Structures are given as structure tokens and as C-alpha cells.
A and B are shown apart, each in its own frame.
Chain A
Amino acid sequence: MGWWGKILDWFNQEPAMPFSLDPEVPPIKVKGKGATGSYSPGAQEEAGTTGESEQGSSKPGILQKVGSFFSRKGKGDEGARGPAPEEPSVAPDLDKNLLTVRRILHTDRNSDVIIREFLLPVGKGIRAAFVFIDGMVNLRAVNADILRPLLDPDFAARLARGLAAGNVEKLFPAAATTLHDSMRKVVTETLMGNLALFVDGLGKALVVDVKGWEKRPISEPVTERVVIGPHEAFAETLKVNITMLRRILRTPDLICELLEVGKVTHTQVAIFHIEHITNPRLVNEVKRRISSIKASYVAESAILDQLIDVPRFWMVPHAVLTERPDRFAGAVAEGYVGIMVDHSPFGLVVPITIADFFSSAEDIYLRPPAPTFLKLIRASGMLATLILPGLYIAAVTFHHEMIPSVLLQAIAASKEGVPTPTPLAVFAGELGFDFIREAGVRVPSPVGPTIGIVGALLIGDAAVRASLLAPVTVIIIAVTAVASFTIPNQDVATLVRIFKYVFIVAGSTFGILGIGLLLYVVGVYLCSLRSFGVPIVAPVIAGGPSARDVVARRAVWKMEHRPRFLRPEGIRRQPPVSRTWTLARPLRPCKRK
């Protein structure tokens, strides 16, 4: 296709229709002269066509005709790469199988791959071998549950009969055994910590679950500490995390589907939702995105979060990252979809909304109006972090009228003898504080707080004494720094810290006009974002009973509806009267006789 054809095609291409949780839009009927038929946006999205679907536009326009002429594919464009290579399967011949395993697992160099051959004591003896990765299996289980029974003649005889009948899965006392005929699957299972047993003449491999490696026990959350509420966090093992979730949500409707991502990591990903509550379109979209990932390294939730992101979302977090099982379970019960990644102590909750930027795990445990008040404080803290330095520069440099005369005199007096221009002073101060913050995170923990205090003293006190910064500037930097710690979401906090500098530049060049225009751009940009079909500003604009709960939390017994923007199958959390004891006759004090 030539460049002219590409340009015309681009012009004729309709902007992609965003995914939506709304039900399919019924086709619109247009009657009358010159207008017949119907169009359906949903159908167009599914078909993936870019053709005009409006009335009277079935005939292609001149530009479309020219564009399609230039965009015609040449003969033989399709299928040029040929068929995919054939996948190796488990052969009846043991030697052939072991050769394949040795080749795939590079046993000549990988010293932790253990292959042990032995004879099953049946008749003249049947050759067999097992394969496992040293350090990833429970050796005690291997010896007691597999090797010892295999060397027992009775068991070996039963195994031989089982092999002949084709049902050997229930012979071993181990937790789970499965038969596989795909060599790729067998090797993957081995790399996950299972043991693969090959028997000569079988044509299949028996995979026994004997996983056992050193792991961190369940501990307290690091990033989401609370005073009220459970004090346990997710661990790195997926099974442990699933168990923790099942302990909270004891319903048969909790569905946990496992997928595998990562060409190199083969990471297991669990997708949680509750049947009859969560919107199936949301679940399917999550599964579609995860299953279509072709990345090689997916070893953490945060990486998966970026891989299921949409292009316009790249700056703003796409999912709530939480290490608390109670928060995760609460979200799943609300109709959100939860995602857990093996080897990650963080769960992902999708979709995200702007309310999640200010929400803390503790909010649900507090009595109203405390959660609403705290959300307001966090939102104000975020706004202060974002615009306070820029606003200060704008007020001092361009808009003196904003500041009362007495205060203006005081500021002018404090700036006397300070040669540094205000924008430069604020920029340098903010940068200095970010140095301290980053240094505090990187240095060993006993020294970290010391660095913070010393750094703050250095920047604050010494800079004022040296007449490099005015005291008011130091106050502004300090207030901004404290306010930035009120933002509970780490991703958002980092983003706000970065954008703070953009606001400083805007305030320094165009004063309040620059700050206002930038706020406007940020606002419209946020309004343009959708997380899995849900506008992230949905709680603020959607209206309905759920929106009030998300923004301003009411008493638990008044929270009757799930978030409406999720389009859940079950909108009602609880009946209008959840405290049925209030319907009973009130107790009256006994009358004294």
C-alpha cells in the first residue's frame, strides 16, 4: 500500500469505540424516504469493521473507494509464514522422552534438574524415571509418597494393572496427580515445582503435585497499615492467597479462574469474581486482555497492571493495587473483578475509579462521617500537592491582589535580601525535598529517618540562614511535602509529585491562567479515561444511590446498593431494612409497681 493510500485509509478510519459495560444498544430504526434499515454500534464493534453504518451511507464515498483501492493486499500476503511447528508429545519410548526432556531443560548445564531412572519391580522390571527441579519440591514427600511406594512390588503390580487400564491417577497418596501427553505441558508443570513420572511404554507422563519450597509466612501489611481491621497481608504464593480469600468469601459463587501468562515466566494468574453479582462483560474483558498477552516476563501484579492498560491510560493507574485480603475480598463482593498473580503479594482490583485514589483500606471500618471527612482531607492534600507551589509563585509574581496587604508586606519583608527568584527557589526546594524522600527510601532503614530529618534541617534552616530561600518558601515546600503523604495510592502520589513541577512551570510563566488551563486539561483528560469500560470519574457523575456511597460514605446499614457504574447483575447489597431488629416492638422500661 502506498503512502497516499495509507493517508486516505487513516481519514476513513473511525476512532475506536471504547469498551463499555452497558448492554448492547438496540439497533436504531430510521424510516422514511431515502432512509431505510438500521445500525447497531455494538454489532459494528464486534465485527471490527470500519465501514460507515449510518443510513443512506451504504455506498462508499469517493475517498473510501480510492482508499480501499490503495489498501488492497497483494496476492500471497496471507499465510506467508507457513504452519506453526508441531508440538512434541510424550512418546511410549522412555529413552526418547528423557532425551526430549534433557534437550528442553538443558540438563547438560542446568545442574538443579534431577532425572532419576529406576526399575519398577514388576516381572522382569519396567523402566521408569522421574524428573523434578531440586529445591522446588518437597523431598520428604518425594521419598515417602512416590519413591518408596514405587519400589514396593505390590504397589508396582497395582501400578502395572493401572497402566494397562489407563487409570493411575488415584494410586498415589499425594495431593494431586494428572496424566499429560503434551511434553510442553509436562515440562511447564515440572518448572512449577511438580514431579513428572515417565514409564516405559505408557505414552503419557504422570505429574504429581509435590511442590515445596521456602516461602515467606503471612505477615502484616507494609503499605496499607490500619488501626482497625485485620492485620494480615497477601503472601507471594498464589495458593495461600486464594485460601485467604476463600476464608473471607465463603460462597460457592466465588469463581477463581486460572490463566497462564509470560512466555518465559509461565506465571499463573487467578481471576476472581462472584457469579450472579459481577457483570459477565467485565469478567470476559478481563480474561480477554490477560489471555491475549504475549509478553515474555510477567512476574508481578504491577507488571500485569501495565500490560492490561489501554494506551491513553499510561500515566494513571489502571487498577487498585492492594496487599490486603479484606480490601480485595470487599471489592470482589461489590462486583469488581480481582486479579492475583503468582509470586506477587499484591492483588489487582479492576476497574478503578477516581474515588479509589482517595480511599484507604480502613474507610469501611470507620463510622460516618469520618470516612467522608478523611477522603476530603486526602483530596485536599492531593490538590495542595499539585497546585500549592505553582499557586504561590503565581500569587507572588503575577497576582499580588490575591494576597491581603498585611500578608503581602510580611512576605515582601521575608524575601528581602534573598536574591533567588521565587520560581527558582520553589523549584529547587521541591527538588531538594524529593532528593531527601528518595534517599530515605533507598538507604538502610535505621539511617533513613535520620537522613530525612538532617536533610530537612539542612534545606530549611541552612538555606534560610544563607538567604537562599525565604521562610515563606520553606513553609510552602513543607506544607506541600506533608500534604503529599496524605495520598493513599502510591501510583497516584508519584504522578502528583511529577505533575507538581509542571504546575510550577505553568504558574511561573502564565500565573493563574497557566494553572487554571492546566487544571482544565488534567480534568478533561481524567474525564476521557475509562477503566474496563467504566469512566474513572463515574462515581462523581453517574448519580444513583451507589455514587453517594462511593464519594460520601453513609452508615453501613444504609449502603443498600452496589456501585451502579459496574452494571452488576445484583445491584442490591442488602434489603431496605437490613437491621430487622428495628422492626420489632421496642423494649420499654418496666414500670415500677
Chain B
Amino acid sequence: MSPSTHNLGYTETVALLAAYTGSKVFTSCPSQLVYLSSTSAWITAMLSVIPAALGVIAIYRFVDRFDGITFQRCVELTIGKPLGKMVGLGFLSLILGMDAIALREFSAGFKSAILPETPLNAIIVLGEAVTAYTATLGLEPLGRFIAIAFLPLSILLLAIVFGAFHMELSIAELFPLWGTGAEHTVLGSVQCSSLYADIFAFALLVPYVREEKAGQRLHAGLVSLGLSGLAMAIAIAVGMMSFTAPTLAQMLFPVLQLARLFLSGIFLERIEAIFVFAWLFFGSIKVAFGHWLAASLAADIIGVKRWTAFVWPSAVITYFLAIQPENLTDLFVFQVTVLRSVGWLVAYVLPAVLLGIAGLRGIGSK
């Protein structure tokens, strides 16, 4: 696929990547982090941004060596076509897996929050159809939409968070500050950087981003990562102050629970239904962008230009993956044990290795 068909601006890139990476705050990720790091989870969330940022720099340096061509072509030029296609398939599996997890978690969240009597399957199918359709419209519309919606939705969410300060919040719940120990927290932050493994999408996005000033693309990647880290840290900190760390670690949708606590005056007694709109838009963008990533990568691996042909097949695969886990607890355990362990290796270390190989072989240097 040629990058000439898309043209993303700086704001759109930041909004898209921040929504893709940061929308995890609506799922069980804050709880996972508390489960792993206890009371220091909010510090871990911020510290994890540092190794993730190094990963982003590695990704950028690698793709930037081959300015103007897609990530898959970069990989193939670096390590050869056969091996490159295998690596591409690995990345494709990761994207599809993460997309399926997001779809399942968001659908289950909607079911438990607002539609308890509707079958989960119906919600997943609806979500899948809607996101696949919007993915076929292309990258630019997704970027534009989230660029418009990002600020109002963020303000809404911040209003919820700061509205929560009217409730009885206990700062004491944030202590001990280093939870399981300072050393463990710092070292654990490397593994917990898997939380931001979705930022790997940046690798596929770079050729489509318009660069009006030098270094603007890298800046966009880093800013979106920073915003995601900030959102995660705020959500965890407020969650802990509201529910205590042990309780938060058991919650599947901590931010939704937070929204349920918030009493907005007399007119809106509970605001979770309004909160759902923010949740919905971020979730839809995440899944739709995942479809686009999968489709464009699949088209690049096969070597055809019509990436739209792969959107619906990727949606079908995602659907079947999404309905695999028996329940959300199983998914929770899978994420904590498997994804957190290997996610950072695939998302950051592998591009760094590719960068090293390209550097040693002198391929594609500008």
C-alpha cells in the first residue's frame, strides 16, 4: 500500500495514538497494574512511560531510515522478504490479539454497565460491524473524528475525575508510596511498559504522518504516549483513593465504578450513561483503528494495494478471538501473566533489534 493515499496532521496523530493507547483506562488495565504493583501502581504507570518512550524512539528511528515507505517494506528491506513476512505475521497476530481483547473488554463493559439483558454476542457483533465499517472509510476520517472528539471527551472524563474529589477520597490509600519497594517498582516498570505496547501502532502510522517541522512525527508519538501515561496514572490514583488498592485490584472496570460513585446534583442522579458516550467513542476508535492496522499490514505482507479488502476478514478473525475467553476473569489473568511479560519484548525490543540490523547493514540510512 502506498502512503500517498493518507495524510495525517500532527493533532490527528496525537489524538489517534493517545486514544488507541490510552483508552485502556476504561478496561481492566488499571486494576492489572494495581494487582502487579500495589499502591505504587500510579507511579509505575508513569515510570513505564520511560521504557516505552525509548521503544517509540527506536521505532521512529527505524521507520525514519526509510522515509516514505510502510513499516512492512522497511522490515523486508532490512531482513529480507521471507523473514520479513514472518515478522510481519507476528506483528499482525499481536495487533489482532490486542484488538480482540479490546473488543471483548469493551463489549463486556457495556453489557454490565448499561445493557445487562442483551446477549454479549449481539453487542460484540454490533461493535464489530460498526468499527469495521468505519475502518473501511480510511485512516484520515478516524484521525479527524478523534481529533475533534478528543478534547471534549477528555474534558468530560476529567470532570468526572475531579467531580469525584467532592466525594470522600482518602489520600492515605496512596501510601506506602513505593508499594512493594522502590527497587521492585522501578524494575517492574519495564515489564509494565507492556501496558503501552499499543503504541507500536506508531510504527505503521509514521509514513502517513505529514511532517511540517523536523521531528514532528517523533514528537507526536512521545506526546501521545505521555498523555496515555498521565491518563492511566490519574485513573489509578483516583481509583485507589476511592476504593483502596486491594479492592481496585479486583475490579474489572474500575473507571466505570468510579463514574457510578459520582453524584451529579439532583438532575442526573447517576452519570454512567453519559460516561458511556466517552467510553464508547474511545473504544470504537481503538477497535476501528486496530482493524485498519491489521488490514494495512495484511495488504503489505501479501503485497497488494487494496487494503480495504482485508478489513472485514480481520473483523471476522477478531470476532472469533474475542469470544474465546470463557469470562473476563480468564482474560484478566491472561493479560497479567502473558501479555505483560512478552508485550514489551515484541513492541519495543524487536523494532530496536531491527534498527540495529539496519544500522549494521547500512540499509536505508538517510
Contacts and interface: CB of A to CB of B under 8 A. Distances in A.
A255 interface: no
A462 interface: no
Contact of A32 (B137, B140, B366): B366
B272 interface: yes
Interface residues of B, number: 65
- Please list the 3 inter-chain residue pairs (A to B) with the smallest Cβ-Cβ separation, ordered nearest first: A41-B4, A528-B141, A28-B68
**Which of A61, A398, A513 neighbours the largest number of chain B CB atoms within 10 Å of its CB?**
A513
Interface in A402-417: 402-405
B210 to A, nearest CB: 9
Interface string A17-33: 10010000100111111
Given A10-B306, A32-B364, A34-B363, A520 B280 contact: yes
B284 interface: yes
A540 interface: yes
B130 A34 contact: no
B118 interface: yes
A525 interface: yes
A62 B276 CA distance: 48
Contacts of B130: 517, 520-521
Interface string A501-544: 00000000011111011011101110110000001010011010
A14 interface: yes
B270 A401 contact: yes
Given A61-B303, A404-B267, A524-B141, A39 B118 contact: no
Contact of B277 (A395, A510, A516, A535): A516
A34 B365 CA distance: 10
Interface stretch (A48-56, A100-108, A165-173): A48-56
Nearest to B308: A15
Contacts of A525: 134, 137, 141
Interface string B119-138: 00001001100100110011
Main secondary structure of the interface of B (DSSP, over half): helix
B118 A510 contact: yes
Contacts of B5: 14-15, 17, 41
B12 interface: yes
B69 A55 contact: yes
B269 A405 contact: yes
A251 interface: no
Given A11-B305, A30-B69, A401-B269, 4 more contacts: A61-B303, A399-B114, A516-B277, A520-B145
B60 to A, nearest CB: 16
Contacts of B7: 20
Contacts of A61: 303-304
Contact of B302 (A25, A63, A543): A63
26 contacts: A10-B309, A11-B306, A12-B304, A12-B305, A14-B305, A15-B308, A17-B4, A33-B362, A41-B2, A41-B4, A54-B68, A57-B73, A62-B303, A399-B114, A402-B273, A402-B274, A511-B114, A511-B115, A516-B281, A517-B127, A517-B130, A524-B145, A525-B141, A527-B137, A527-B140, A528-B137
Given A28-B67, A524-B137, A541-B12, A517 B126 contact: yes
